[in-house]
Amino acid sequence: MKILVTGGAGFIGSHIVDAYLKAGHEVCVVDDLSSGFRRNISKEARFHEVDIRSSRLAEVFEAERPDVVNHQAARANVRESFEKPLLYADVNVVGSVNVLECCRKFGVRKVIYASTGGAVYGEPVQLPVSEDHPINPLDPYGASKHHVEHYLHLYNSNFGISFTALRYPNVFGPRQDPHGEAGVVAIFAGQMLENGQPFINGMGDQERDFVCVFDVAKASVLALDRGHNEIFNIGCGRGTSVNTIYATLAELTGFQKKPVYQAAKKGEVYRIFLNSDRARKVLGWRPELSLKEGLALTVEFFRSAHQKQFETTQANQG
């Protein structure tokens, strides 16, 4: 089938593109390159440099006529969302409605939507968190992502467009940008390999549900023909502290410095991990990579990238 991936030049989106291509599908990518990189996009995928808020998006849909849209494009930085709440509403909500309108006009049969399990629930009242947990986001990012879930129901009820919403945990892995809208794994790995000084917000005992991007991309493949009009948590079902992530990455990189602790950030959930039983039963999804295996793959990617950058710098100076 033909699949259009918004945000397909980004960290998660590009891995989803690769997974779809590997499964034999035809793939096109929409990305404005505000946080993604052209180098992430497979040469086998057609690329359109378009903002999802733009009227030009309809031209892409008219030309490509996709069967399925996998909607990954979004602003995704919790801290930045407090500074720029209007931007987050504009990109994540208004932009998503523009995507759905294009789906309606050009006969898309299904939308797979990247939501967030780490930010929509707020501080959990019970753990692990299931999809039926109350929705009480603590930041504009989480609020904007959940808002779109209501539009998915609306477009399904009124226009027959099927959907599957995937609520992501803390996703990590190769291609995550340690200098941009990055998670703690990418930030620490980049700093350790450059012998920098990592900082930890709070005491480091806050816990998150960490899943490698390869396992997350697999969920998008399974959702092509399963889980219609349902919402799924995509997580490993257990919490890992930031201190544990730090210690494991330090072991993998041979890093010796201790972290510097600083004040906790506003809007961050203290402890959350996801119940993914529904995804296991309906999608047939479960994470295959252990945390340490995923972290090792991530470190190897950043080590290789760091070495290439060093060699380029040396060649330019020589």
Residues annotated as part of the active site: 141
Look at the alpha carbons of 189, 194, 199, 205 in this order and tell me if their dihedral is positive or negative.
positive
Q: Reduced to 3 states, what is the DSSP secondary structure of residue 292?
A: helix
Token code pair at residue 112? 């797979």
Q: Is 189 in contact with 128 (CB distance < 8 Å)?
A: no
Token code pair at residue 70? 């996998």
d(CA 316, CA 274): 47
Nearest-5° angle of CA 182, CA 79, CA 132? Answer: 90
CA distances from 195 to 172, 257, 258, 303 (A): 21, 8, 11, 12
Nearest to 243 by CA among 202, 278, 195, 277: 202
CB neighbour class for 316 (10 Å; exposed up to 12, middle 13-18, buried from 19): exposed
Q: Reduced to 3 states, what is the DSSP secondary structure of residue 162?
A: strand
Ramachandran angles phi, psi of 271, nearest 5°:
-150, 120
d(CA 174, CA 11): 8
d(CA 318, CA 79): 41
Token code pair at residue 266? 């506003």
* Bond from prior residue into 259 cis (ω within 30 degrees of 0): no
